[in-house]
Amino acid sequence: MARVTSKMQVTLPRSLAERYGIRPGDDIQFEGDGAFIPIVPPNAVAAGDLGVEARLRLFDAATERQRAREAARPRPGATGRGWTRDELYDRGRPDTD
């Protein structure tokens, strides 16, 4: 976690600087976006500047990364939860007995 100094300066973690190619002296941009303040590195390309094919390639790559994350994460088993799928469909309905 970064800390803001009394001079309103923020230290960027080395791992992020290396990942995004940010070097001492580079100008970075802070953009207010609701509850977040994204930091835009100097070599970033705005999404609107990319063509349709480039955006689709980025989307496909992000989809593959998400699938890999989901595949690596163990899924909880269906046993031992105290209810069945069929019971979910019938809950809240009046008894027909």
Higher local confidence (pLDDT), 34 or 49: 34
Q: pTM for this one?
A: 0.41
Could you give the dihedral angle defined by the CA atoms of residues 60, 66, 67 and 70, in that order, rounded to the nearest 10 degrees? Answer: -170
Domain extent, residue 25, equals 17-72
Q: In this prediction, what percent of the chain has a pLDDT beyond 90?
A: 22
46-80 pLDDT tens trace: 666 778 888 899 899 999 999 999 999 887 766 77
Task: Work out the mean pLDDT of the chain and round it to a whole number.
Answer: 83
In a domain, 96, yes or no: no
pLDDT of the residue at 61: 93
In a domain, 38, yes or no: yes
pLDDT of the residue at 58: 86
In a domain, 12, yes or no: no
